[in-house]
Amino acid sequence: MKNLISKWYKNHALIYKILLFIGTTFLIVYLFPKSGKFKYNFDKNKPWQSENLYAPFDFAIQKTPEELEKEKSAIVKNSAVYFDLFSEVKDFVYEDYNKKFNATFDDSLGRKKTELYRIGKLVLDQIYKNGVLEEDYNYPNDKSVILLDGQNQVATTTYSELAKIDAFRKILEKQLEEKRNSNFSAVFVSMFFDLIEPNLKVNKSITQNALNEELDKISSTRGNVERETLIISKGELVEGHKYDILKSLESEYESQVWSASNYTWVVISYSLLVALTLLMLLLFLRKYRKDVFLDNTKVTFIFFNILLMVLLTTLIVKYNSKFVYVVPLCVLPLVLKAFFDARLGLFAHVLTVLLLGFVVPNSYEYMFLQITAGIVTILTVSELYKRANLFISVGQITLVYIVTYFAFFVIHEGSIIELDLEAFGMFILCGLATLFVQPLIYIYERLFGLVSDVSLLELSDTNTKLLKELSNKAPGTFHHSLNVANLAEASANEIGANAMLVRVGALYHDIGKMKNPTYFTENQSTGLNPHDELSAQESAAIIFSHVLDGIEIAKKNNLPDRVIDFIRTHHGTSMVYYFYMKEKEIDIATDADDFRYPGPKPFSKETAILMMCDSVEAASKSLKDPSSTKINHFVENIINKQMEDGQFLNANITFKEIESIKKILKNKLANIFHLRIEYPE
């Protein structure tokens, strides 16, 4: 049992990666749509590129959304409106009319009164023939209307046959004019305004229920295709009825067939493809980015970003697939490039796009667009910490999106007449969303403990608290660090290494000397050397300690691990030769290993560059009467000794790159010492 636990502990990093791999695969498959993919790609009004297609099973031809909408519109237009008819209102109005008429007109009018009464009654009969509306509902005049008295249907008419509440005025004036009684118009109008009451009110519940019943009767299909029926032949244009049949088959294929009978097989197949994709990423890291592969935090960070992009895209597709290009997918290569390198960023981006091909519509077009944009992102964004560079790059990415989409649209449609400008707006939104990469990088640094070029830029400021302290306590070391930083940055630029990283590493590599600054020659301003009173071994111990002291100070000040690596490795396992020879004068059997730094040796181009520049800059102070020949021999001698001592065996740096660094150091030292040609006297 103990051996088993010990074995598990030794392999805990590998076990974690396996669990991370399985977990990420599970989550991505969970997000994917659980349906089969129609294996044929086709576009409207384009030739059918595959073999002759026969119906694999019986299926119904689906109506297009336009056809269904047209049918719905027709039903809504022709549907009847139900009104409640309150018959007791009419009786009340007639009774009230008799009272008000007798109170208004005097009996002295004789036969005229009888005639006027008949006119008023005639007007009431006309406006209450079908009923008086409570309000104007703005229905079309030919809208069918059904009148209900309680639950019973009493009449069917049209909306134009229903009277508005003020309709009596025109009818009354017309009747009075025909009977030559216009002088009584004002009296009648005044009386009718108080008299007329509406007796029709729309019944929204019954009207809506009746409409829903009719809408439910709409069939979503029109006709069937029997199994083994030839749907389309190779080379035939996909248009009209054939296009509708193919869309129906695609819909049937992706819903009923797969979700009902082969769900498990679909999930297993998705899992295999996703697992294969993520395995390729792990193999890439293991072969080409060993340091990243061994760091579980970094591997988790990469998997998390891939999962985040899949999550965002699937959510957008489920909401509305036309907004799929709003997802700022180019944030992925930007973030990975900021924390790692361009090659890893592009590789992860391409794999993510391949995964999203299962989710998005028009997958080929989508993948071409996103891979192209990812390549442009990697090629254009060189210094992410410079805001102008980011804005320019985002503009270029957006332009690539627009141009590529335009080309695809013309290929599909054959013209630009129906060009969808809304898509261009989505690409602009995508570009604006990509600008969020700056705060996102800051968040990632805090969550995962990583460091980007943006943070390195902040650390390179010589006004930071730690560098201020170094300049006050050890001014000579501070000046030395500045010189090394300039040499290292120039060397890194020459061979394509991370210049910002190596500059920051150079600025902080000797901060451990703050503990005992006077024990280092660059800080000895009085001419007194405290090493004169110490043994060679004691002096060597103090010199060695500045590395461990530097690591301790760096950790207290929360410097990133990538910067601390420069403190650990800037001397590698080299020897403090002066004190070794001093001790050897006393004891010839002195062990050379006692005068070597504990290491480790440099394990990257950047740390190797710092070792070379640090040694050359420090030793250059001892040059007397420097000349070009002396400087050349001096640089060659120091770096060749480091190579012979095996200091660069763990660093991925080539002989050609080392020669380029030598050339830069020679030129820089020549400028520092202001070498001039000798003029004749």
Q: Show contacts of 521-528: CB within 8 Å, 24+ apart.
A: 521/476, 521/621, 522/474, 522/476, 522/477, 522/479, 522/480, 522/618, 522/621, 523/474, 523/475, 523/476, 523/477, 524/476, 525/476
Alpha carbons 28 and 641: distance in angstroms, whole number: 53
Pairing of strands 53-54, 59-62: unpaired
Give the CA diameter of the chain: 155
d(CA 328, CA 318): 17
Q: What is the pTM of this model?
A: 0.62
3-state secondary structure of 576: coil
Who has greater pLDDT, 74 or 385? 74
Question: How does residue 460 score in pLDDT terms, banded at 50, 70 and 90?
Answer: confident
- State the DSSP string of 636-674: HHHHHHHHHTTTTTTS---HHHHHHHHHHHHHHHHHHTT
Residue 586 identity (one-letter amino acid): I
Of the options 1.10.3470, 2.60.120, 1.10.3210, 3.30.420, the CATH number for the domain spanning 463-672: 1.10.3210
Rounded-to-integer distance, Cα 95 and Cα 91, Å: 6
* pLDDT, tens only, 315-365: 888 887 778 888 888 889 988 888 888 899 999 999 999 999 888 877 788
pLDDT at res. 483: 92
Question: Has residue 675 got a pLDDT over 80?
Answer: no
- 471, pLDDT greater than 60: yes
φ/ψ of 359, rounded to 5, equals -100, -40
Residue 4's pLDDT is what?
55
* Residue 109: how many other CB atoms lie within 10 Å: 13
- Summarised one tens digit per residue, pLDDT across range 144-164 is 888 888 777 778 888 888 888
Q: Taking the mean position of all CA atoms in its chain, how far away is CA 462?
A: 35
Q: What is the DSSP string of 424-446?
A: HHHHHHHHHHHTTHHHHHHHHHH
Report residue 392 as tokens: 């320019």
pLDDT at 274: 93
Neighbours of 528 (CB within 10 A): 10
Residues 6 or more apart in contact with residue 73 via CB below 8 angstroms: none
Measured between alpha carbons, how far is 500 from 609 in angstroms, rounded to an integer? Answer: 13
| CA 143/CA 83 separation, integer angstroms | 12
Under a CB-based contact definition with an 8 Å cutoff, are residues 442 and 335 in contact?
A: no
pLDDT given for residue 508 in this prediction:
94
Each residue's pLDDT tens digit, 345-356: 999 999 999 999
Q: Retrieve residue 144's tokens.
A: 């069918």
pLDDT in tens, 234-293: 777 777 777 777 777 777 766 654 555 567 777 888 899 999 999 999 999 999 888 888
Looking only at the bridges linking them, the beta strands covering 230-232 and 53-54 are antiparallel
